[in-house]
């Protein structure tokens, strides 16, 4: 097949869907819009599969399909093409995006069928996919940035989808503004890279990246990667810019699943993986990424333990899981990061959709204190959610186990890693097991606390089919990256397929020695045991002895309060950044703008107006007088020419 045509189909199918639904959003019914949008994405998915099949057919060394559509910007030495490139890394991404995207579109048909603005919703969703694909496939930073900004816009639009609610509109704004900070850093990083490398194309940057790492801080590579990483923290909700993600749960639940769990938030991780040779050349940045990632794991997990809103719990869990990916990036395990990105996309999308199903069943109730015992009402949702749960807490042989343990192993063994990082990761896994079990327990198990006037019911097939598919993927998704130690004892010795696949796209960590098999088994056992124990504790606390949690909370009172209030980060931001900024702006407005600039312009305009009223008498509207001026001008010109 023709690659440019396939690529164009892949990219433009969602865009066409966006146009169809977006231009006629008042006419299309929810179902029609949903079918159109889903068809568009499925077309995209099919072309993605065809493209990836072609990609597999290429020899591993040159496994790249690049397509250049037209020259976009050409200024002096800056030449940017509207070029797109498909390599093993982006292949994983487009499959995840279009595949999970199709499922979520399908789910949305059922979820949004009662909403008046469904066509608009589907239009936004399609636009999002279009931008996400541009982000993923773009062959240079500016092209990626187009998608980067585009997904930001769609995220804003979809978080504030029910904009008549002030809080939800504000949540959208928060996401947008927070992302702006990151985007500014991203742009700065881009400028620095262009200054030092003279190009913005990924392949060229990666080729030009210095091979020996530099430890200097004020080095363009370090600074550039650092700024890019700050950009990534904005989009991927890491400390310190994670605050928007929990609020983003104001949007429709499938949006949370698609944008704020599976795809957009992983953009930062993806960007770092894309530029992995460059980041490897900046160990300082890598260290910061690892530390930030580890901290975010803990932060997300702890806050997640205390939340009562089913979506908030999942949101903090997402923050925490994204922390794992950054931790992986930070220790140089880019393949592991991609692996976790993929498995996370499966199980977190599954859980979000499951929560959507629950919320749908509970008539828009999100507080888990008012749920419980939903197992018997929502069997499909429960069982699929159950597989998501086992995947995320890292029980072998489910998806999360393989990816998380690979990250932990790298954190331990990698020369860029540290035992402390492994410890934090393992602690995070323990906490994850706790809060996820808590969520399961409070929602599905135990006694029903459902208010009498709500009658939970199982969702329609359009919603349950995606759940089932994702549930299966959550089970088997991890099997493409089975670590060597486990592969060695399994019958048939399955090899680590993912590692092979990414082999040529990802630079190996310098100085990495083969893992010590015994240590690896021990580490694996420790983390799995911790997780299982923690899950049992949680099960005990929330199912068998429901009064215990309160006691524990009281016992650790102040700590609990701090965590429950999300470490007062929002408040701190308000006090430390936003309020001073607002005050300073007001001061600037009053003293500089009103009293100085405005007055100056008034003086200027008064002078001009005075002069104008003098000159106005010349311009009396009589064209013949104008013609006279023209002829006088002619006379003057001729006179000048003659006298000269």
User: CB under 8 A: which stretch of 203-211, 414-422, 529-537, 629-637 binds another protein?
Assistant: 629-637
Q: What length is written for the chain?
A: 644
Smallest gap from Cβ 644 to another protein, in A, equals: 12
> CA dist 494 to 129, 227, 481, 485, 523, Å?
34, 40, 9, 11, 21
Q: For residues 21 and 401, what is the distance between their CA atoms, to the nearest angstrom? A: 40
Nearest CB to another protein, comparing residues 552 and 638:
638
Q: Is 209 exposed, middle or buried (0-12, 13-18, 19+ CB in 10 A)?
A: buried
Single out the segment in contact with another protein by CB under 8 A; choices: 263-271, 311-319, 353-361, 622-630. 622-630
Q: Is 517 in the site for another protein (CB under 8 A)?
A: no
- Local structure of 201: helix, strand or coil: strand
Residues in contact with another protein, counted by CB under 8 A, come to a total of: 16
Q: How far is the CB of 613 from another protein (least distance, A)?
A: 16
Binding to another protein by residue 634, rule CB under 8 A? yes
| CB 611, min distance to another protein, A | 20
Contact between 581 and another protein by CB under 8 A: the answer reads no
User: 466: how many CB neighbours lie within 10 A of its CB?
Assistant: 28
CB of 224 closer than 8 Å to CB of 275:
no
Residue 615 engages another protein in binding (rule: CB under 8 A) = no
Stretch that binds another protein, among 103-111, 528-536, 547-555, 632-640 (CB under 8 A): 632-640
Residue 356 and residue 378 in contact, taking contact as beta carbons nearer than 8 Å: no
SS3 318: helix
- What phi, psi does 83 have (nearest 5°)? -110, 145
Q: How far is the CB of 628 from another protein (least distance, A)?
A: 5
Q: Are 362 and 467 in contact (CB under 8 A)?
A: no
Q: Which helix (H) or strand (E) holds 72?
A: strand 65-75
Pick 211 or 620: Cβ nearer another protein:
620
Indicate whether 640 belongs to the interface with another protein (CB under 8 A): no
Q: Which is nearer to another protein, 489 or 642 (CB)?
A: 642
Q: Indicate whether 490 belongs to the interface with another protein (CB under 8 A).
A: no
Stated as kind and residue range, the H or E segment containing 86 is strand 78-86
Closest residue by Cα to residue 263 from 172, 157, 147: 147
The neighbouring-strand residues paired with 80 are 73
Are the C-beta atoms of residues 358 and 377 closer than 8 Å to each other?
no
> For tokens 């994983």, what's the residue?
92
Q: Cα-flanking dihedrals φ and ψ of residue 641, to 5°? A: -65, -40
In angstroms, give the least distance from the CB of 612 to another protein: 15
- Residue 635 interacting with another protein (CB under 8 A): yes
Is the alpha carbon torsion for 365, 370, 376, 377 positive or negative? negative
- Give the tokens for residue 31: 């179902």
How far is the C-alpha of 611 from the C-alpha of 614, rounded, in Å?
Answer: 5
Nearer to another protein among residue 56 and residue 615 (C-beta): 615
Q: Does 617 bind another protein (CB under 8 A)?
A: no
Applying CB under 8 A, does 618 fall inside the site for another protein?
no
Question: Does residue 584 bind another protein (CB under 8 A)?
Answer: no
The answer to the question of residue 624 lying near another protein (CB under 8 A) is: yes
Segment contacting another protein by CB under 8 A, of 136-144, 202-210, 530-538, 621-629: 621-629
When the beta carbons of 497 and 629 are compared against another protein, the nearer one is 629
Q: What is the rounded CA–CA span in Å between residue 601 and residue 605?
A: 6
Residue 639 lies near another protein (rule: CB under 8 A) = yes
| Contact between 625 and another protein per CB under 8 A | yes
Q: How far is the CB of 642 from another protein (least distance, A)?
A: 6
**Minimum distance, C-beta of residue 634 to another protein, in the bound complex (Å):** 6
> Do β-strands 78-86 and 65-75 pair in parallel, antiparallel, or remain unpaired?
antiparallel
Choose between 218 and 643: whose C-beta lies nearer to another protein: 643
**How far is residue 242's CA from residue 71's CA, in Å, rounded to a whole number?**
36
**Of 78-86, 374-382, 416-424, 618-626, which segment contacts another protein by CB under 8 A?**
618-626
For another protein, the closer of residues 53 and 638 by Cβ is 638
Pick from 518, 614, 621, 644 the residue near another protein by CB under 8 A.
621
Q: Given the complex with another protein, which of 572 and 639 has the nearer CB atom?
A: 639
The residue range among 441-449, 460-468, 603-611, 634-642 that interacts with another protein, by the rule CB under 8 A, is: 634-642
Site residues for another protein per CB under 8 A: 620-625, 627-628, 631-632, 634-635, 638-639, 641-642
């Amino acid at each position: 097949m023709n690659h440019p045509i396939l690529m164009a189909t892949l990219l433009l199918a969602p865009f066409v869907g966006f146009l169809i639904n977006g231009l006629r959003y008042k006419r299309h019914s929810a179902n029609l819009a949903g079918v159109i949008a889903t068809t568009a994405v499925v077309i995209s998915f099919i072309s993605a599969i065809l493209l990836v099949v072609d990609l597999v057919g290429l020899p591993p060394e040159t496994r790249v399909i690049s397509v250049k559509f037209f020259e976009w910007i050409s200024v002096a030495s800056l030449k940017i093409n509207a070029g797109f490139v498909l390599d093993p890394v982006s292949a994983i991404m487009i499959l995840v995006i279009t595949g999970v995207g199709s499922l979520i579109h399908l789910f949305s048909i059922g979820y949004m069928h009662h909403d008046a603005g469904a066509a608009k919703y589907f239009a936004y969703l399609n636009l999002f996919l279009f931008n996400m694909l541009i982000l993923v496939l773009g062959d240079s930073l500016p092209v990626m940035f187009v998608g980067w900004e585009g997904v930001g816009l769609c995220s804003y639009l979809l978080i504030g989808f029910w904009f008549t609610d002030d809080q939800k509109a504000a949540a959208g704004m928060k996401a947008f503004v927070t992302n702006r900070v990151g985007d500014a850093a991203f742009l700065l990083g881009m400028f620095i890279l262009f200054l030092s490398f003279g190009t913005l194309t990924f392949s060229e940057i990666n080729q030009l990246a210095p091979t020996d790492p530099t430890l200097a801080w004020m080095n363009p590579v370090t600074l550039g990667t650092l700024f890019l990483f700050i950009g990534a923290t904005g989009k991927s909700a890491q400390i310190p810019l994670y605050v928007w993600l929990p609020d983003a749960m104001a949007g429709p639940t499938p949006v949370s699943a698609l944008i704020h769990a599976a795809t957009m938030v992983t953009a930062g991780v993806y960007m770092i993986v894309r530029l992995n040779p460059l980041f490897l050349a900046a160990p300082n940045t890598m260290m910061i990424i690892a530390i930030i990632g580890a901290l975010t794991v803990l932060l997300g997990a702890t806050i997640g333990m205390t939340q009562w809103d089913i979506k908030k719990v999942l949101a903090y869990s997402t923050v925490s899981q994204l922390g794992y990916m950054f931790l992986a990036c930070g220790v140089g395990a880019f393949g592991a990061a991609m692996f976790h990105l993929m498995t996370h996309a499966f199980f977190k999308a599954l859980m979000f959709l499951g929560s959507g199903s629950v919320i749908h069943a509970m008539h828009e109730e999100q507080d888990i204190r008012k749920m419980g015992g939903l197992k018997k009402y929502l069997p499909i949702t429960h069982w699929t959610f159950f597989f998501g749960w086992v995947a995320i807490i890292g029980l072998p042989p489910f998806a999360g186990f393989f990816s998380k343990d690979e990250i932990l192993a790298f954190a331990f063994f990698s020369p860029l890693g540290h035992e402390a990082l492994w410890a934090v990761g393992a602690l995070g896994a323990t906490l994850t097991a706790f809060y996820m079990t808590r969520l399961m327990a409070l929602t599905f198990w135990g006694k029903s606390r459902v208010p009498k006037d709500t009658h939970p019911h199982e969702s329609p097939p359009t919603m349950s089919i995606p759940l089932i598919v994702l549930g299966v993927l959550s089970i088997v998704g991890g099997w493409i990256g089975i670590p060597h130690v486990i592969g060695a004892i399994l019958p048939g010795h399955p090899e680590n397929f993912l590692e092979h696949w990414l082999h040529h796209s990802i630079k190996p960590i310098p100085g990495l020695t083969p893992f010590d098999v015994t240590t690896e088994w021990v580490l694996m056992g420790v983390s799995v045991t911790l997780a299982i124990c923690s899950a049992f504790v949680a099960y005990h606390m929330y199912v068998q002895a429901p009064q215990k949690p309160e006691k524990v909370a009281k016992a650790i009172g102040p700590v609990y309060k701090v965590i429950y209030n999300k470490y007062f980060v929002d408040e701190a931001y308000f006090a430390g950044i936003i309020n001073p900024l607002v005050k300073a702006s007001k001061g600037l407005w009053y003293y500089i703008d009103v009293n100085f600039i405005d007055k100056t312009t008034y003086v200027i305009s008064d002078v001009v107006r005075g002069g104008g009223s003098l000159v106005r008498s010349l311009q009396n509207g009589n064209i013949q007088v104008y013609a006279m001026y023209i002829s006088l001008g002619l006379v003057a010109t001729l006179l000048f020419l003659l006298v000269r």
